[in-house]
Amino acid sequence: MSDTTIRMAQLRKRYGTTDVVAGLSLGIGPGVTGLLGPNGAGKTTLMRMLATVLAPTDGDLALLGRDPADPDERTDVRRRLGYMPQEPGFHRQFTAFEFVDYVAILKEMTDTRARHREVRRVLETVGLGDVTGRRIRKLSGGMRKRVALAQALLGDPQLLVLDEPTAALDPEQRMRFRELASELGGERIVLVSTHQTEDVAALCQRVIVLRDGRAAFDGTPAELSGLARGRVWIADGRDERAQLWWRTAEGRHRHVGEPPPGAQLVEPTIEDGYLLLAGPAVVPEGLAA
């Protein structure tokens, strides 16, 4: 039986003197795993290493039981990999169909008829069956994201690495993505890097929070929100003792931190847990106490 896990031990990526990924040791199995973290936390660097497009500086990495440092094993991993980069590039003169078809050729699908059938399948899966012939430069940002997702689904890969797949999607498209990712996550490894805590809450069985290249948290979404239990309160005015605070739509102030006596505690969300963990690094200047 083939290995369906990702294993990393003391994985490190250094640029100059900075460790962008600083000795991560994790095992990831089938299901949807979310990667959260502020900008610069090392999410994209980690995703690129897991997609075999960036080599670690140090440490061990095994993808689906293969060593990506070995050329033949790396090719074997890539045959079972779907990768959606954070900023996918397109030949803009291509139509959606032509672009996905082009990537399918890079994925060694050389039989024209079977390849076109597969291209149609993935475009329909992401809800673009009606615009297959439209040029990419005429598609909206959300549609382009879905084209990028479609190419990642080619060949029904066992390992899906999706870097910020929900950015630029409208709420309805995000719902469809969550449904799709949830379906895919049954027997496959689906790694989703995102800034959207609600995406993680809705579709991930596991969440890893990265900070400064290290795993600051590894657990379920419920455990992440549980970190903030008893540490989130609402008040009419700003409380200087809070670790973080922000003004809500109702004009009151939501605080995260050690509550003062008598504070009006509220049920924490996954965002509260994440903010408490990530701290001021994820909050715009001025909001952090």
Closest approach of another protein to the CB of residue 149, in Å: 12
| Structural contact between residues 42 and 213, judged by C-beta atoms closer than 8 angstroms | yes
Query: Which residue's CB is nearer to another protein, number 126 or number 228?
Result: 126
Query: Which residue's CB is nearer to another protein, number 134 or number 253?
Result: 134
Closest approach of another protein to the CB of residue 92, in Å: 8
Closest approach of another protein to the CB of residue 142, in Å: 19
Nearest C-alpha neighbor of 3 from the set 24, 25, 26, 30? 30
Q: What is 229-253 written as a DSSP string?
A: TT-EEEESS--TTSSEEEE-TTS-E
Closest approach of another protein to the CB of residue 183, in Å: 22
Closest approach of another protein to the CB of residue 99, in Å: 8
Closest approach of another protein to the CB of residue 161, in Å: 8
Neighbours of 159 (CB within 10 A): 24
Joined tokens for residue 199: 């995406």
Q: Where are the beta strands (DSSP E) in the chain?
A: 6-15, 18-28, 31-36, 58-63, 81-84, 159-163, 189-193, 206-211, 214-219, 232-235, 244-247, 253-256, 264-265
Strand partners, 2: none
Nearest C-alpha neighbor of 215 from the set 7, 56, 35, 17? 35
| Structural contact between residues 18 and 6, judged by C-beta atoms closer than 8 angstroms | no
Closest approach of another protein to the CB of residue 83, in Å: 4
Query: Which residue's CB is nearer to another protein, number 88 or number 226?
Result: 88
Joined tokens for residue 69: 């440092």
Site residues for another protein per CB under 8 A:
48, 51-55, 68-69, 71, 74-75, 78-79, 81, 83, 85, 88-92, 94-95, 97-99, 101-103, 105-110, 112-113, 115-117, 119-120, 132-133, 148, 151, 161
Query: Which residue's CB is nearer to another protein, number 90 or number 246?
Result: 90
Query: Which residue's CB is nearer to another protein, number 10 or number 93?
Result: 93
Query: Which residue's CB is nearer to another protein, number 107 or number 254?
Result: 107
Query: Which residue's CB is nearer to another protein, number 61 or number 275?
Result: 61
Residue found by looking up tokens 């540490």 in the block: 231
Q: Classify residue 86 by burial, with Cβ atoms within 10 Å: 0-12, 13-18, 19+.
A: middle
